Structure 1
């Protein structure tokens, strides 16, 4: 995100991070009316058009094209309304050209290993073994195509991902995995706890408690390792 978010992360979420969390959470659950309010808040706080756009595109990898497209359309409406009011929003920089010509699967695998902090060795297990093509799609598209775009860095992308998954029910295994990756990228436990208060506000206490419990589980696992 903008320069403010590129600083060393603190205990609490800064204004940019709070806005991005609100935008990701509301997009994930399809609350378009409230999303428009938060999109305005995010722009007013200094997020660029391209930063928000990038998060809304990434959304589809976790909750589908319909949510992503609806949120992008809502963002277009917000920008048009602001333009009519004479508000000039900063577009922000475009993604740098991707110059890595290596095998896309290997690029994605390397990114995944950086996020997890672990080398991926041995035969595939679980869903990746049962349906190997999903592993290919994850590595080549999500962790290569999407995560290689430098408008958002790994920490920012993981924060968006955690926000999305925190808003959704029934995805605790994925939330646990991404909280672990998020901590590896520099997101703090305190920031995830603060994110849970955003979840409680928009989604409810039960979902917020799932986020907190999942964080505790990740912390315990990390201590054992």
Structure 2
């Protein structure tokens, strides 16, 4: 099955797709691509739409930098309260494009005012998981342990 608009303006959709894929990789690196690839077997048209519309059309617009966009997405997904997998992807995306952990945590805490404490608590739990995974990735393997007692 082809994309619904593909027959009308294939070149335009290819540009949207290419622009969206580049933006997705800029924000999420391989994580975003893996999400899209996971949809290929069940809903390839949805995977294409996911690249074309949010990333090819919206994220690529001028007016907000990627850091600001990702902070807004973290706020929205936290407030929704039912999108933990997507929230984790976008917390990592926010970090990838320059947001600090403090900014992410403060954004999530701010949502307690508008979406309630349960949503903020769930968001903080997601952030804790992302931060821990990020720490684990960046931890370097320890050097060979030295002998406690040097032998002459």
Query: How many Å separate the matches in 2 of 1:223 and 1:156?
Result: 23
Match of 2:19 in 1: 107
Compare relative contact order (CA 8 Å, sep 6+) and give the higher one, 1 or 2: 1
Query: How many Å separate the matches in 2 of 1:156 and 1:128?
Result: 30
Q: CA RMSD in A?
A: 2.2
Match of 1:176 in 2: 88
Is 1:224 aligned to residue 136 of structure 2? yes
Query: How many Å separate the matches in 1 of 2:118 and 2:94?
Result: 22
* Runs of 4+ more than 6 Å apart: none
- The 5 Å alignment of 1:188-199 reads 188-199=100-111
Aligned-pair distance for 1:128?
4.0
Query: How many Å separate the matches in 1 of 2:125 and 2:63?
Result: 31
- The 5 Å alignment of 1:98-177 reads 103-118=15-30, 120=33, 124-125=37-38, 127-177=39-89
Query: How many Å separate the matches in 2 of 1:124 and 1:185?
Result: 22
Query: How many Å separate the matches in 1 of 2:67 and 2:40?
Result: 25
- The 5 Å alignment of 1:12-51 reads none
Q: What TM-score do the two structures reach when normalised by structure 1?
A: 0.51
Give unpaired runs (5+ residues) of structure 1.
1-99
Give unpaired runs (5+ residues) of structure 2.
1-11, 138-152
Q: Which protein is bigger by CA-based radius of gyration? A: 2
